Amino acid sequence: MDPTAIAILGGTGDQGLGLALRFAKAGRPVVIGSRKLERAQAAADEVRAAVPGAGVEGLDNADAVGKAPIVILSVPFEHTAGTVKAVRERLTPEHVVVSMGVPLATAIGDGAVRTVGVWQGSCAELVASLLPEGVPVVSAFQNVSAHRLRELAHPVECDVVVSGPPAPRKVVLALCELVPGLRGVDGGPLANARYVEGVTALLIGLNVRYKVPEGVGVRFTGLPD
């Protein structure tokens, strides 16, 4: 396993592919995971076309987990548990699992400007509850727009609140610095993920009211450099 590789499960979708493009552009090896090998390979081809020389491959989700110590979950909230259960036997305490999911009410046929309650407190804590003992979960990237990620010519301009156990949290804070315009903000323990996930529903409403289909972002002021 390449210690610098980043796997993105559901990396065939809007957000996952956006992150794959950005991390590949930063020179990191990227493994795109999918339920279907052909979809993963097509997404990897797309990254190579946009980022010549990119170190990217497409695999099915379970094989992707075996190739990278950092595993980003990039599937809609309602498919989070199924995706985690399908790969959890391959995850070890040496992995860092990144939860990016937002429990939007679209999961129950309602709108994207609201969230639904999650018994565990957040999508990230749901993920943690499903994983084997000792596999660390960090929450991040929920407030970043897929559209902005995919516009490689422009910085993303968004703060990323990163929450989880201290050592893996540092690993993910460092990932944020790979993407121009992103700033990692130390969000403390994983329980704070619930606040961050809820902000995404607010941002989706702002996109509509202010007519910003590219997606608005968040910035925290007053933090020391």
Ligand X SMILES: NC(=O)c1ccc[n+]([C@@H]2O[C@H](COP(=O)([O-])OP(=O)(O)OC[C@H]3O[C@@H](n4cnc5c(N)ncnc54)[C@H](OP(=O)(O)O)[C@@H]3O)[C@@H](O)[C@H]2O)c1
Q: Which residue has the tokens 């309650």?
A: 117
Helix H or strand E encompassing 8: strand 6-9
Instruction: Output 35 or 183, the one with its CB closest to ligand X.
Output: 35
Rounded Cα–Cα distance for residues 189 and 2 (Å):
28
Instruction: Output 5 or 160, the one with its CB closest to ligand X.
Output: 160
Instruction: Output 136 or 197, the one with its CB closest to ligand X.
Output: 197
Minimum Å gap between C-beta 54 and ligand X is 18
The C-alpha angle 143, 144, 146, rounded to 5 degrees, equals 130
Minimum Å gap between C-beta 99 and ligand X is 8
Beta strands at 56-60 and 70-73: parallel, antiparallel or unpaired: unpaired
Q: Do residues 137 and 128 lie in contact, with contact meaning Cβ atoms separated by under 8 Å?
A: yes
Q: Do residues 5 and 70 lie in contact, with contact meaning Cβ atoms separated by under 8 Å?
A: yes
Minimum Å gap between C-beta 9 and ligand X is 8
Look up residue 118 and give its two tokens.
């999650």
Q: Residue 182: which of 217, 157, 202 has the closest Cα?
A: 157
Instruction: Output 29 or 77, the one with its CB closest to ligand X.
Output: 77
Minimum Å gap between C-beta 70 and ligand X is 16
Minimum Å gap between C-beta 39 and ligand X is 4
Residue closest to ligand X (Cβ): 13
Residue 221: partners with Cβ closer than 8 Å, 6 or more residues away: none
Instruction: Output 86 or 191, the one with its CB closest to ligand X.
Output: 86
Instruction: Output 184 or 224, the one with its CB closest to ligand X.
Output: 184
Minimum Å gap between C-beta 198 and ligand X is 12
**Residues found near ligand X in the complex (CB under 6 A):** 10, 12-16, 34-36, 39, 74-77, 79, 82-83, 100-102, 142, 144-146, 200
Rounded Cα–Cα distance for residues 46 and 39 (Å):
11
Q: Identity (one letter) of the amino acid at 156?
A: V
